[in-house]
Structure 1
Amino acid sequence: MSELSDHDTRTIPATPLKRQQARQQGNCPKSRSLVAAVILLSVAMLLVSNSPPAVNAIKIHWAELLQFRPELVNHPDQTDSAALTELVSTTGFRILRQTAPLTIGLMSVAILASVLQTGFIWLPSKMKLDTTRMSPQHWWRQVSRGSRWVEYLGSACRAATIFAVVMLALWIQREELAQLSFSNASGVEQGGLQVLTSSVLQVASVLFAIASVDFFWQRWKWNQSLRMTPEELKEEHREQQGSRGADGQRLPRQVFPAENTHLATTTTLTDREWREIDFIIYNPSGATVALQYNPVKMDLPRVIKVINSGNSTDIIQQTRHHNITVYHDSQLAAQLAQLTVNKQLLPVELYEPIAKLLQSPNPT
């Protein structure tokens, strides 16, 4: 019950500072399915580019080996274990050497696919052994979580989908597979590589589509896990307010370009600004503030324009034409007009009231 009540109080989206701290601690959204899809796509490309030279090198090696050891072909029943050991070991080392570029390429792609999602994070402290993960209590907490069962169900559906795609790919290529039984060694080699490459490419394409959905799902879960309570937001604000210089003065405020720092004194908004605006907060007899906020792409709202004309009737009428949400909050509009300028991100002290306003069910 305590976890449920705590979850209910976490109604405020995470601030950029909390997101940055989470990333520094290694807490980043990452889709393992996306990594697997990129690896499979790389496998298909590397099979096309690297397989023929590797197979040809192994064939040449076998031809040279059998040329100097004809008894392996003429009298295979009389071949001793030493000759077979030599054949297997030399062939194995040759295969390893020929497939080394493929292995190194796949490892590089896997690391790159992970780093592109999370950025480079070096945390040696995370490498130490955590024995608490092996405790029955930890295991039971993980098993009893509803979100964990949702992940299990998603993994099962993903595995079933991939299996179905593999079976479908083999069924579509059943004629090619049947023809391989009547082909010579060279035909089996080329046809087998084509079938394998085509199957891997089809599975990778489906997995990439699944991974795209999984990536946004992981990011949504990450955003939900970082949501804050009003007390946490106030504590963060107090910590930022406490960041003062040695003389007790607050650190200098961020300086914005001169063309963006002037307060607007006209109700005119350009077509580009109308396209950027997502909602407007106004005071009927005071300031009107136009803001932009896309929760998928933006961490927090951005002030598009502050208008201190004193008459918001014209703008409110234009918002209906542009289908923009309007909120009537005289106090918040006055605070925004006092503390912000054009093209500025929302200050942290106004984060909580804006979040509550956006959650209100009855905009103007």
Structure 2
Amino acid sequence: MAEQDDDAEKTEDPTQKKLDDALKKGDVAKSQEVATWFTMLGTGLVVALLAPGAADSLQAALRGYLAHSHQIPVDAGGLGQLWRDTGLRIGAILALPLLLLLATAIIGNVIQHQLIWSAERMKPKLSKISPLAGFKRLFSSESLVNFAKGLIKIVVVSGLMVAVLWPQRDTIDTMIFRETGVLLSEVQTLILQLIAAILAVMTVVAGLDYIWQRKKWFDKQKMSQREIKEEYKQTEGDPLVKGKIRQLRMERSRRRMMAAVPEATVVVTNPTHYAVALKYEQGMQAPICVAKGTDAVALRIREIARDNEVPVVENPPLARALYALIDIDQEVPEEQYRAVAEVIGFVYRMRERRSWRS
């Protein structure tokens, strides 16, 4: 019972396969605070670099309408054209700022993990529409933590706004009397000060939240010993099954090897331990090994050779050398040419004598 409880506990670090499977499903470590930090950075860049130019272009575009308002047709077709032209001009002016904001939002996610194309999150699940599951998620510990984080962020941002804007309260009161160009410059300065203060705090918050989210995600991927064993069986195969398959393959290979012994030219043996069957025919570059074995396999090779009148030659040094140097269907190495040639020559001479006698 204690062993089953131990297997049920996910105390082992996840395998690489488990992490890869989670990645394919779109389950990654992600901090929303990091994404928010990059979005805020993009907003600051837009305000600092692009807002003045966009404001000037927008002002110039609208000034023309005000200067020539008496020439603007007020019929349905004229007003429709006016709205289309105005929308295109405003869209062209705001396109670059919006693209910059989009780019920073994407970077805020990509920097945390690689791009993932997964439809797993889009699959319909009953748990997503189940009132009971929704109630559990609403009052889960994670939801409560996120709620507390949201409240803290509201308090912090509100405090930063007060800290930045309160010293400028007299200036803000008189902004209505400023000229447009001066007013926009002062508003830009205040917004940049506020964004810089928020970014300074968000840097710490985002860093801590990313570490926490990464740890929570890694803990969620942990596995029990039973899961690790099951994964090993799925990827590497059951050791018992693999052993049985290996045994069957060896038996089939051995049968094919024994079937080739009757076609051998000679079997070189060490009387009791080694046997190597060689085949040589006219036109071959060198003799090839068609069978080899030790002990019981060697004995079986010798028996098949004698039953099929294949010459068996005892040469212990050569038998041991050939067994160590060559595998099935491989040619005899050059260093053994001379010794093997003497054996095959001896076999051919024996055949000639038998032919002469008969």
The answer to whether the 8 A contact 2:39-2:101 is kept is yes
Amino acid at match of 2:29: P
5 Å-filtered alignment, 1:271-290, equals none
Partner of 1:29: 29
Which of 89, 95, 115 in structure 2 is aligned with 1:120?
A: 115
Whole-angstrom CA distance in 1 between matches of 2:121 and 2:17: 21
In the alignment, the residues of structure 1 paired with residue 123 and residue 232 of structure 2 have an alpha-carbon distance, to the nearest angstrom, of 33
Other structure's SS at 1:118 match: coil
* 1:165-204 alignment runs, 5 A limit: 165-204=160-199
Partner of 2:286: none
Query: How far apart in 2 are the matches of 1:205 and 1:126?
Result: 34
Q: Which runs of 4+ in 1 moved over 4 A?
A: 5-8, 79-93
Give the C-alpha shift of residue 8 in structure 1.
7.4
Match for residue 10 of structure 1?
A: 10
Decide whether the 8 Å contact of 1:33 with 1:211 is kept in 2.
yes
Q: Verify the 8 A CA contact 2:38 2:107 in the aligned structure 1.
A: no
Q: Which residue number in structure 2 is paired with residue 211 of structure 1?
A: 206
In the alignment, residue 29 of structure 1 is paired with which amino acid? A
Check the 8 A contact 1:158/1:210 in 2, yes or no.
no
One-letter amino acid matched to 1:23: L
Residues 1-364 of structure 1 aligned to structure 2 (within 5 Å) = 9-69=9-69, 91=86, 93-242=88-237, 248=246
Residue type at the aligned position of 2:50:
N
Supply the AA of the counterpart residue of 2:135: W
Q: How has the CA–CA distance of structure 1 residues 81 and 131 changed in structure 2, closer, same or farther, with 3 Å as cutoff? A: farther
- Equivalent residue letter for 2:108: A
- Structure 2 distance, partners of 1:208, 1:216, is 12
Larger Rg: 2
Mark the runs of 5 or more structure 2 residues left unpaired by the alignment.
248-358
Looking at structure 1, the residues matched to 7 and 228 of structure 2 have their Cα atoms a distance apart, in angstroms, of 15
Letter in 2 for 1:224: D
- 1:69: how far off? 2.6
**One-letter identity of the residue aligned with 1:104:** L
Q: Secondary structure at the match of 1:120?
A: coil
Q: Secondary structure at the match of 1:197?
A: helix
Instruction: Assess, with a 3 A threshold, how the Cα gap between structure 1 residues 179 and 84 changes in structure 2: closer, same or farther.
Output: farther
Displacement of 1:190 in angstroms is: 1.4
Change (3 A) 1:65 1:232: same
Counterpart of 2:112 in 1: which secondary structure?
Answer: helix
Is the alpha carbon distance of 1:28 and 1:158 closer, same or farther for their aligned partners in structure 2, counting shifts above 3 Å?
same
Q: Shift in Å at residue 44 of structure 1?
A: 0.4
State the distance in 2 between where 1:85 and 1:202 align. 44
Q: Distance in 1 between matches of 2:203 and 2:67?
A: 47
Distance 1:24 1:248 in 2: 33
Q: Is the 8 A contact 1:38 1:204 kept in 2?
A: no
- CA displacement at 1:196 relative to structure 2: 1.7
State the percentage of identical aligned residues: 22
Give the TM-score, by structure 1 length: 0.57
* Counterpart-to-counterpart distance in 2, 1:43 and 1:213: 22
Cα deviation for residue 37 of structure 1 reads: 0.8
Farther-moved stretch of structure 1 (5-14 vs 230-239): 5-14
**What SS does structure 2 have at the residue aligned with 1:227?**
coil
Give the 3 Å change call, closer, same or farther, for CA 141–110 of structure 1 in structure 2. same
Judged with a 3 Å threshold, the aligned counterparts in structure 2 of structure 1 residues 125 and 221 are, in CA distance, closer, same or farther, namely closer
Q: Post-superposition shift, 1:133?
A: 0.7
Distance 1:160 1:131 in 2: 37
| Structure 2 Cα separation of the partners of residues 176 and 206 of structure 1 | 25
AA in 2 matched with 1:64: G
* 1:270-315 deviation line (CA, Å, top 9, x unaligned): xxxxxxxxxxxxxxxxxxxxxxxxxxxxxxxxxxxxxxxxxxxxxx
Contact residue 40 and residue 204 of structure 1 kept, 8 A: yes
Provide Cα deviations, 1:227-259, integer angstroms capped at 9, x if missing partner.
1112112222333432979x849xxxxxxxxxx
Amino acid paired to 2:22: A
For 1:137, give the aligned amino acid. Answer: L
Aligned residues: 239
Cross-structure match for 1:337 = none
Distance of 1:211 and 1:9 partners within structure 2: 31
CA distance in 2, matches of 1:159, 1:8: 41
Contact 1:38 1:208 in 2 (8 A): no
Q: In structure 2, do the counterparts of structure 1 residues 95 and 201 end up closer, same or farther at CA, with 3 Å as the change threshold?
A: farther
2:61 & 2:152 partners in 1: Cα distance?
44
Root-mean-square deviation (CA, aligned residues, Å) is 3.3
Using the size of structure 2 for normalisation, the TM-score is 0.58
Aligned pair in 2 of structure 1 residues 14, 128: CA closer, same or farther (>3 Å)? Answer: closer
Counterpart residue identity of residue 222, structure 1: W
Q: Counterpart amino acid of 1:208?
A: T
